[in-house]
Structure 1
Amino acid sequence: MSDTPYDEAKVVDSPTDWVSSHIQKYVQTEGADGHDFRSGAPILLLTVLGRKSRVWRRTALIYGQAGDAYVVVASKGGAPTHPAWYGNLVAHPEVHVQVKGAKFEARARVAAGPEREKLWKLMAGIWPDYDAYQAHTDREIPVVVLDAV
């Protein structure tokens, strides 16, 4: 893992108020409140090390599963730039994940080629808005695979 020790008590949650509130409910209830998002989309918590700040930062993301791996999408709602967590994850692929009450370390990697296409379809099946997000941006929205270590 990173040379910056992980201390859950020092993790900084998303600066977006509604996301931060969602994360706190998720953590307090081990996902009983917060795992199922709008239309039942499943949510996990992803904690990444800041590439500049060296601070562990946590966000809530819709996820899918491909075998033993978890899959998330760096959509940022189709914005022209990647979300900050994605840049941090690329710089420091060793991450922490919480799915309901289960917490584990994982290694993140960006899917490419046929794997990305397959996983994109999986994720668009869970959250159809991803296709609309992709249509609104010139960047290829990254699909990230989280493999438990």
Structure 2
Amino acid sequence: MQNDFNQQVIEEFRANGGVVGGPFEGGRLLLLTTTGARTGTRHTTPLGYLPDGDGRVLVIASAGGAPRDPDWFRNLVAHPRVSVEAGVFRYEAEAEVLTGDERDRAFARAVESDPGWSDYQARTDRVIPVVALQEIPGPPDIAAPSFGAAVKAVHDGFRRELSLIRQELAGPLAPGGAPLGAQLRVNCLTACQGLHNHHTGEDAGLFPFLAGRHPELAPVLERLGQEHLKLAELLEELRATVTDGQPDPVRVRAEVERLTAAIEDHFRYEEEHLIPMLDAAAP
């Protein structure tokens, strides 16, 4: 049975495009829907997650350090095909329980980003499982009432992710200090790939669609296409910085700030000029 707290989080998540308050506020949150191991009933659970790149995210079956694995974990062991809601995106995924060194490396990354995971492990004799959720390719499914709202929601998702990365890079960093953490590297690289994929999709689909129906948008689409090229250069510079041996967090932070400012200017211009057209074209 769904507990009241989880149900409140689920409803808030779905009503606000993945944005929630309370203990999950300002974190990475998804909704995982599994099939009951015994009953076959579908169950949805809000969970924190870690980006893992290449269409994969990690979730951790900590259950707060309880002696037993959580129900959602037992469900996906029995039925690995699951549904995921991340922000406004909905997709099917295949769950894989990580083992051996792969599990240990992933859990170490989690502890590095949040020592609370180590506290949970210390409370229980079981080895806390780490699960990879690999997205199954399919047509995009975005929970939004219109084309324009979908674009705004996708943009807001990138805004939140860049804000989280900036928060993770904040603090008393100094050249020559601790190197960039492994999980933070993954977060940066995943955001870079996501933005690249988003812009590539717009260049191949959205922009030609609008160009064919609204010739008057030619100067706007030309500017947005040129901005995509400039943003691709910034994304590549951040990627190169993050993968450069022992990257200096101060340098990475500067690259993220530069990228964030450029992305925000680009999104604002795109929303101002394209969303009215997209919403007007809706049936």
Q: Which interval holds the TM-score relative to the shorter structure?
A: 0.7 to 0.9
Matches within 5 A, 1:129-144: 129-144=116-131
In the alignment, which residue of structure 1 is the partner of 2:29? 43
Preserved CA contact (<8 Å) 2:2 2:43: no
Q: Note the aligned Cα RMSD (angstroms).
A: 1.6
Partners of 1:130 and 1:136 in 2: how far apart? 10
Which runs of no fewer than 5 residues in structure 1 stay unpaired? 1-13
Deviation digits for residues 51-99 of structure 1, max 9, x if unmatched? 1111110000010011121100000000000000100000000000011
In 2: Cα distance, 1:52 partner to 1:95 partner? 16
- Judge which range, 78-87 or 111-120, deviates more: 111-120
Q: How far 1:126 sits from its partner (Å)?
A: 3.8
Shift in Å at residue 33 of structure 1? 2.9
Unpaired runs of 5+ in structure 2? 137-283
**Paired position in structure 2 for 1:52:** 38
Name the TM-score, length of structure 2 as normaliser.
Answer: 0.45
Contact 1:44 1:60 in 2 (8 A): yes
Q: Of the two structures, which has the highest relative contact order with CA contacts closer than 8 Å and spacing of 6 or more?
A: 1
Is 1:72–1:145's contact at 8 Å kept on the other side of the alignment?
yes
After superposing on structure 2, the runs of 4+ consecutive aligned residues of structure 1 that deviate more than 6 Å are none
What is the distance in 2 between the residues matched to 1:32 and 1:42? 9
In 2, Cα distance between equivalents of 1:41 and 1:126: 12
- 1:96 aligned to 62, 79, 83, which one? 83
Instruction: Provide the TM-score with structure 1 as the length reference.
Output: 0.84
Q: Check whether the contact 1:41–1:127 (CA below 8 A) recurs between aligned residues.
A: no
Give the fraction of aligned pairs with identical amino acids, expressed as a percent: 39
Q: Distance in 2 between matches of 1:126 and 1:24?
A: 28
Q: How many residues align?
A: 134
CA distance in structure 2 between the aligned counterparts of 1:42 and 1:102, rounded to whole angstroms = 14
Matched residue, 1:119 = 106
* Deviation (angstroms), 1:115: 1.1
